[in-house]
Every structure is written in C-alpha cells, then in structure tokens.
Amino acid sequence: MPSSKLEKLLSPCNHGELGDLIGRARRMGELTNILSNALPESDRSAIIAANIREDGELVVICASSAWASRLRYETEVLLKAARDTGITAHTCRVRVSQG
C-alpha cells in the first residue's frame, strides 16, 4: 500500500471508523497526560490510561492496587484537572489494569 493511501487511512480527519478510533485514542492520551501532570511528581507514573464516559464519569486506570489506593486520595485533584480542560466530570473511578 502506498504511504499516501496509508496516511489518508490513518488520518483522524478521515471521518471514517478508523479516523474516529484514532481521534479517540489521541484524546484519551491527552487526558492521561493532563491528569498525570496534575499529580505530585512522585505519582505521575501511576496512571496508565484515562477516559471520560458519556455520563461524566472519569475513569482512571493504574497498574496496581497500591497505586489505585494512592490515586483514590487524589480524585478531587483529578476531577479538577479534567474540569479545567473543559471536560464535564462528576465522579472519578480508579481501576486497576487487568494486563
């Protein structure tokens, strides 16, 4: 496949399913970085991924139950960081990655 066709296929401006998926992954990555940077420096590596659900629930994924316990104390900081970017987040749920 020529690189121009591949670039068009992977473009988030493509408005196809793949473009939508890539755009969603980028937004999740940006949210993850925003939330990580809102934490104290010693805790910034705790977040693996983050997402916002349609009902306003902020979901934060971390690597271990120890990190989950620490992040649960930071839910107000995480919610504020999300809200500061214009995201409407009402609750925060911290989950442990299964992988």
| Domain containing residue 23 | 3-96
- To the nearest 10°, the Cα dihedral for 82, 83, 84, 87? 80
- CATH code for the domain in which residue 29 is found: 3.30.300
Average pLDDT (8-23) is: 69
pLDDT at 19: 78
- CA neighbours closer than 13 Å in the CB half-sphere of residue 62: 22
37-86 residue pLDDT tens: 999 999 999 999 999 999 999 999 999 999 999 999 999 999 999 999 99
Q: Identify the pLDDT of residue 98.
A: 83
Cβ(96)–Cβ(64) below 8 Å: yes
Phi and psi dihedrals of 45, rounded to 5? -85, 0
Is the per-residue pLDDT at 1 higher than 60? no
Q: How would residue 21 be classed by pLDDT, with cut points 50, 70 and 90? A: confident
Do the strands 91-96 and 57-62 form a parallel or antiparallel pair, or are they unpaired? Answer: parallel
13, pLDDT greater than 90: no
How many domains, the chain? 1
pLDDT at 10 over 80: no
Between CA 3 and CA 1 the distance in angstroms is 6
